[in-house]
A = this chain, B = another copy of it.
Amino acid sequence: MPASDLLAATADLVAIPSESHAEGPIVDHVEARLRALPHLTVERVGLNLVARTQLGRSTRVLLAGHTDTVPANGNAEARIDGDVLWGLGSADMKGGLAVMLTLAETVPDPAVDVTYVFYAGEEVAAEHNGLAHLVRHRPDLLAADVAILGEPTGGEVEAGCQGTLRIEVTLRGQRAHTARPWMGRNAIHRLGELLRLVEGFEARRPVIQGCEYREALQAVVVSGGVAGNVVPDLTSVTLNRRFAPDRTEAEAADEVRALLAPVLEDGDDLTVVDSAPAAAPGLDNPILRSLIDRHQLAVTAKLCWTDVARFAALGVPACNLGPGDATLAHTADERVDRASLDRAHQVLHAVLTTPPN
């Protein structure tokens, strides 16, 4: 089924460095290849590319992938050894980009309309995320019936994603000399009870559309203190809650507020500093459903937040499905093998060429 050597095609992309904030050359490369295809309408928005068929099909499938990588870690150079390609970005996610480009170049007359999205800035702070940029400025380009992101999933389906929110809690006390602590109140000591409540958080494991999610509440940063001889009057702790798609951001925050209410007092503060919604698995979508059934794909719940939530927020069911092993991403041993690339290509080729029911 592969129209080309996907391992070599991926190596060509790994050979173009594209660390976040320096995606220019790879975007230019991809843009030139897309513009050479007469069946695609290409738009460039900053460092993001959207290429679409306009065939008037009843259904539109969107395939998306990010062009940037994390910084190199002694693995900048692409190296093919047998059927394995080693190198930065091979799994996360130039393998997925190679599959997308191959489909764009070899399927000029798909059974569904197709939108290919190549976006920058996924590996860095959300403010730099190219998909977020498109959502804000050109949501029309993202219209689709279903979206599939090519992040490494070993060719299986990772459905939806959990939401995430960060809450900063500030506890107050009263300063005093540490030789006379009874004249004040130690804010850091108050942390003890708060952390006990955090540890006692009931991490739910709801099953939604057959996917088991698994929530979490973790203290991620703590700070406090005035001087070595002062009873501290202030301490703060940042908590990160991961929540399943059966909770809104507001509900998830309220549950943390309720959990901590027993230790919070007048003068304390609890602020949501950062929040992103969960995405439902979207497995009731007929295209995702038939894709899973036809290829007998494994489906797991995505516990981390991913860009699929941006599509879910637009009303577009989305999942992750791409070649490569996610646990190798961001490691010096990052690699992808030929079978994984071919398998992802086979599945996505079928999505594009099978008329929807």
Contact = CB atoms under 8 A, between A and B. Distances in A.
Interface in A176-203: 177-181, 186, 188-189, 191-196, 198-199
Given A177-B304, A191-B192, A195-B189, A220 B216 contact: no
A164 interface: yes
Contact of A162 (B179, B195, B228): B179
A228 B224 contact: no
A228 B275 CA distance: 12
A72 B228 CA distance: 22
A191 to B, nearest CB: 6
Given A177-B304, A216-B179, A216-B181, A222 B235 contact: yes
Interface residues of A, number: 44
Contacts of A222: 188, 191, 222-225, 235
Contacts of A199: 189, 192
A240 interface: yes
Contact of A220 (B220, B228, B237): B228
Contacts of A181: 216, 218
A238 to B, nearest CB: 7
A226 interface: yes
Interface string A54-98: 000000000000000000000000000000000000000000000
B238 A225 contact: yes
Contact of A231 (B178, B218, B223, B226): B218
Given A189-B198, A222-B222, A228 B274 contact: yes
B230 A188 contact: no
A144 B193 CA distance: 51
Given A164-B179, A228-B240, A219 B304 contact: no
Residue among A186, A196, A224, A228 facing the most chain B CB atoms (10 A cut-off): A228
A242 interface: yes
Contacts of A242: 178-179
Closest 7 CB pairs of A and B: A221-B225, A192-B195, A188-B219, A179-B303, A179-B304, A178-B240, A178-B218
Given A186-B218, A192-B193, A228-B274, 16 more contacts: A164-B178, A164-B229, A166-B228, A177-B304, A178-B240, A180-B216, A180-B304, A186-B219, A188-B221, A189-B219, A191-B195, A191-B222, A192-B195, A220-B225, A220-B226, A222-B223
